[in-house]
Amino acid sequence: MARHGGRGWYGQVVAAALGVTAVTVAASLWTAQAGPVDERVEAGTSVHHSAPKAAPVPMGIAHASDRGARGVNITIDDGPDPVWTPEVLQVLKEYGVKATFCMIGPQAKAHPDLVRAVVAAGHRLCDHTVSHDVTMDTKSEAYQSQQILDAERMITEASGGVRPLYYRAPGGAFTPYSRKLAASHGMRPLGWNVDSKDFERPGTTAIVTTVKEEMPNGPTILFHDAGGDRSETVAALREVLPWLKEQGYSFGFPVR
């Protein structure tokens, strides 16, 4: 999995994540995504310190679809974004497609309404760390833990108690430690097979062509809903989603 280049805009939102406000959540929820949750989030503490961890899952990096050989997984990274996430959600709704949204912790914290909209529409959540550091695999275990678990907490709080089911390392910078840690918190490490290259904004036609050419690589496709103008991504999804259906694919979620 190729690493993405530097994305300086994340530094602007990381500061918003520091200094968590006091929040107390006592809920017993049942959702199609996360099952029952009964947890208490103490002021200034992380979910992983104050609530039972989710049941562990395999630590191997998932690429397959739960829909089998003709399944495909749409994954959307780096949001939520107040401009582009609603646009992406609308396209997915139009074509009846469910996706996995890999969210940056501070973005989720800043836009809880969008996190809840994603959940309400039947999509799944994925932890994409606090600051999208593509060099995480060179950092200490303490740093990796902070990035993963603080983002997990932010996403869970923003969603109203729905936990992320996956963990995607920025730029694919997984380590054995980060995979084991995420899996122990019920988040299956999530890779990708098809990089649409939409982050580079090469044009809608180029994005669509890349997806079509790389589909033999496997079922998990990477798109983005934040980090800049994502109008090309929205336009590409309008072409890619019906094309995939025409090819006989069905839309599912990454295996757990």
pLDDT in tens, 68-84: 999 999 999 999 999 99
Alpha carbons 186 and 116: distance in angstroms, whole number: 20
Q: What is the pLDDT of residue 10?
A: 39
pLDDT, tens digit, 9 for 90 and up, residues 209-241: 999 999 999 999 999 999 999 999 999 999 999
Nearest-5° Cα angle at 15, 14 to 18: 100
Length of the chain, please? 256
Q: What is the pLDDT of residue 114?
A: 98
The single residue listed with the structure tokens 């739960």 is: 66
How many CA atoms, within 13 angstroms, populate the side-chain half-sphere of residue 96? 4
Lowest mean pLDDT among 4-18, 61-75, 79-93, 203-217: 4-18
Alpha carbons 205 and 189: distance in angstroms, whole number: 30
Q: What is the pLDDT of residue 85?
A: 98
Q: What average pLDDT does the structure give for the chain?
A: 85
Token pair, residue 105, equals 């912790």
Q: What is the pLDDT of residue 51?
A: 53
What single string gives the DSSP state of each residue in the chain? Answer: -PPP---THHHHHHHHHSSPPP----EEE--TTT--EEE---TT--HHHHSPPPPP---SPB-SBTT-TTEEEEEEES---TTHHHHHHHHHHHTT---EEEE-HHHHHH-HHHHHHHHHTT-EEEE--SS--TTGGGS-HHHHHHHHHHHHHHHHHHHTSPPPSEE--GGG---HHHHHHHHHTT-EEB--SEE--GGG---HHHHHHHHHHHGGG-SEEEEES-SS--HHHHHHHHHHHHHHHHTT-EEE-B--
Three-class SS of 126-176: EECCCCCCCCHHHCCHHHHHHHHHHHHHHHHHHHCCCCCCEECCHHHCCCH
Catalytic site residue from 127, 133, 224, 225: 224
Catalytic site residue from 48, 77, 137, 225: 77
Q: What is the pLDDT of residue 53?
A: 77
The set of residues, in sequence order, having a beta carbon less than 8 Å from that of 31 and lying 6+ positions away, is 119, 162
Q: Judge contact between 178 and 190, C-beta under 8 A.
A: no
Residue 225 vs residue 22, higher pLDDT: 225
Active site annotation includes 77: yes
pLDDT, tens digit, 9 for 90 and up, residues 181-203: 999 999 999 999 999 999 999 99
Q: Judge contact between 100 and 76, C-beta under 8 A.
A: yes
